[in-house]
């Protein structure tokens, strides 16, 4: 650990505000990746959550204002609806050089910057929950005052738990619809297939094992082969066989179109959340 002069604060001091599902996902990933818990401070407005996380990770829990004072990086992991008031609370306590990173769906960097002192570096991130098993997919976009070094710092935090893509901010509503919400669609498909297996007479645990391993194996095959999914699907689909019979039903039920509509709805909801945050900010 490098200690500069009389400053005995450990390096990489990170304040994580909002330690719910996604906040704990990031926190646990950093601890797994070897970050010193002494360099991380977290907050949550639910006292029972504070006690749980202190016990689980050995990190220090604090108030929002105390946590951000002197922090190198502040991660905001509250719901979009809670963002405006949180920004108002922490803005006076931030150092000018502190990097503020938001993981909230929708809320754009212009809105974040408007709630913070002029020139505060801001980065917006859309992560996902497979980061809990170090298979996360996160996309990041820089605000107007963030530098390549700031993006590198965020990448360093996120690569602890998976892959990171730097994207133009205009893509982030679509990213939210695809990879941010994506795990939920896949769990939904898994759930439906397990129930179908039970309907066909399989014991539930057998059906679950078949479906989960099939999902995992198919994802691995896609990644490792680099083949287009249509090619891999064709290889499973024997002429006049069982797969063709099943896929015909999925097409008849317009499952492909339903996926398109679902993701348009998620993208639109992300835009609505952005508009609501802008309105909260301007008091409209």
Ligand X SMILES: O=C(O)[C@@H]1CCC=N1
How far from chain centre, in Å, is Cα 273? 16
Coil/strand/helix, residue 61: strand
Instruction: Tell me the C-alpha distance between 64 and 17, whole Å.
Output: 7
Establish if 61 lies at the interface with ligand NAI (CB under 6 A). no
**Binding flag, residue 23, ligand NAI (CB under 6 A):** yes
Interface region with ligand X, contact rule CB under 6 A, candidates 148-156, 176-184, 234-242, 276-284: 176-184
Shorter beta-carbon distance to ligand NAI: residue 23 or 162: 23
* Residue 17 marked as a ligand binder: yes
The encoded tokens of residue 262 equal 């679902």
Closer CB to ligand NAI, 82 or 95, in the complex: 82
Answer with the entry of ligand X, ligand NAI, none that 86 interacts with (C-beta below 5 to 8 A by kind): ligand NAI
For ligand NAI, the binding residue among 39, 43, 98, 280 (CB under 6 A) is 43
How many angstroms separate the CA atoms of 233 and 243, rounded?
Answer: 9
Q: Which is nearer to ligand X, 177 or 211 (CB)?
A: 177
The verdict on whether residue 119 carries a ligand-binding annotation is: no
| 62 near ligand NAI (CB under 6 A) | no
DSSP string covering 166-227: E--GGGHHHHIIIIISHHHHHHHHHHHHHHHHHHTT--HHHHHHHHHHHHHHHHHHHHHH--
* Furthest-apart CA atoms within the chain: distance in Å: 76
Residues 91-150 touching ligand X, rule: CB under 6 A, are 105
By beta-carbon distance, which residue lies closest to ligand X? 180
253 forms beta bridges with none
Strand order in the sheet with 136-142: 60-61, 40-43, 14-17, 73-76, 99-102, 122-126, 136-142, 162-166
For the bound state, the minimum distance from the C-beta of residue 131 to ligand X, rounded and expressed in Å, comes to: 12
127 near ligand NAI, rule: CB under 6 A? yes
Verify binding: residue 280, ligand NAI, rule CB under 6 A: no
- At 228 the three-state DSSP class reads coil
Phi, psi of 45 (to 5 degrees): -80, -10
**Which tokens is 145 given?**
């005052």
Selected from 54, 82, 169, 209, the binder of ligand NAI by CB under 6 A is 82
Minimum distance from CB of 237 to ligand NAI (Å)? 33
176 lies in the binding site for ligand X (CB under 6 A): yes
- Indicate whether 172 belongs to the interface with ligand X (CB under 6 A): no
On whether 215 is known to bind a ligand per the annotation, the reply is no
In angstroms, rounded to a whole number, what is the distance separating the alpha carbons of residues 125 and 109?
Answer: 10
Contacts of 180 (CB under 8 A, 6+ apart): 105, 126, 127, 128
Closer CB to ligand NAI, 121 or 127, in the complex? 127
Q: Is 181 in the site for ligand X (CB under 6 A)?
A: yes
Q: Is residue 221 annotated as involved in ligand binding?
A: no
Instruction: Find the binder of ligand NAI among 79, 155, 269, 278 (CB under 6 A).
Output: 79
Confirm whether residue 19 is marked as ligand binding: yes
**Site for ligand X, rule CB under 6 A:** 105, 176, 180-181
**Site for ligand NAI, rule CB under 6 A:** 17-23, 43-46, 49, 64, 77-80, 82, 86, 103-105, 126-129, 180
């Amino acid at each position: 650990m490098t200690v500069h002069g009389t400053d005995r604060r450990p390096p990489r001091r990170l304040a994580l505000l909002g330690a719910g599902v996604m906040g704990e996902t990031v926190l646990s990933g950093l601890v797994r990746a070897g970050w010193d818990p002494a360099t991380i401070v977290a907050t949550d407005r639910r006292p029972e959550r504070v006690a749980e996380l202190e016990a689980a990770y050995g990190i220090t829990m604090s108030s929002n204002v105390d946590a951000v004072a002197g922090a190198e990086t502040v991660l905001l992991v509250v719901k979009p609806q809670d963002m405006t008031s949180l920004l108002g609370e922490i803005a006076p306590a931030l150092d000018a050089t502190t990097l503020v990173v938001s993981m909230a769906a929708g809320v754009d960097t212009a809105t974040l910057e408007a709630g913070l002192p002029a020139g505060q570096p801001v980065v917006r991130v859309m992560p996902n929950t497979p980061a809990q098993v170090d298979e996360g997919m996160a996309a990041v976009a820089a605000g107007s005052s963030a530098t390549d070094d700031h993006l590198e710092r965020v990448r360093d935090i996120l690569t602890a738990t998976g892959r990171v893509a730097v994207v133009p901010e205009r893509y982030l509503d679509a990213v939210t619809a695809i990879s941010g919400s994506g795990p939920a669609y896949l769990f939904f498909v898994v759930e439906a297939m397990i129930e179908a297996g039970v309907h066909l007479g399989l014991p539930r645990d057998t059906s679950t094992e078949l479906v989960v391993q099939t999902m995992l194996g198919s994802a691995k095959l896609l990644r490792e082969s680099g083949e287009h999914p249509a090619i891999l699907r064709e290889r499973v689909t024997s002429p006049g066989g069982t797969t063709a019979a099943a896929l015909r039903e999925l097409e008849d039920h317009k499952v492909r179109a339903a996926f398109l509509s679902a993701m348009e709805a998620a993208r639109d909801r992300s835009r609505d959340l952005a508009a609501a945050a802008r309105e909260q900010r301007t008091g409209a």
